[in-house]
């Protein structure tokens, strides 16, 4: 197929993502799966607003100069990304 005819307009361009950051996000998820013994229990957390509180704690720790979480050993901003991901999912799925 001629590449000029390929219809890419409007499609999500995942090559725009920074894979080092995505890798750190995956490490946080892997840590959570190991800690909580399940992949999707985060979807049932109540109240769902706990993710906002967790995101803020990690963000503030990073702002205060601490780069890595003392419990997980993972980057605070990766925890922020994870909590934001959970909150986006919750917003789209009525878990406010």
Question: Alpha-carbon distance 96 to 92, whole Å?
Answer: 9
- Which pLDDT does position 9 carry in this prediction? 85
Residues above pLDDT 90, as percent of the chain: 88
Decide if pLDDT at 18 tops 70: yes
In this predicted structure, what is the pLDDT of residue 2? 56
Question: Average pLDDT, stretch 78-82?
Answer: 98
| Cα distance between residue 32 and residue 72, in whole Å | 9
Confidence (pTM): 0.89
- Phi then psi for 15, rounded to 5 degrees? -70, -10
Domains of the chain, by residue range, sit at 46-96
Model confidence at 33: pLDDT above 80 = yes
The sign of the torsion formed by the CA atoms of 88, 83, 53, 60 equals: negative
What pLDDT, on a 0 to 100 scale, did the predictor assign at position 13? 95
């Amino acid at each position: 197929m001629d590449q000029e005819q390929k219809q890419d307009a409007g499609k999500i361009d995942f090559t725009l993502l920074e894979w080092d950051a995505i890798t750190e996000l995956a490490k946080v998820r892997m840590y959570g799966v190991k800690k909580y013994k399940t992949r999707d229990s985060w979807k049932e957390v109540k109240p769902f607003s706990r993710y906002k509180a967790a995101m803020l704690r990690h963000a503030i720790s990073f702002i205060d100069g601490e780069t890595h979480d003392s419990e997980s050993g993972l980057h605070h901003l990766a925890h922020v990304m994870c909590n934001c991901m959970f909150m986006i999912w919750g917003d789209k799925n009525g878990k406010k």
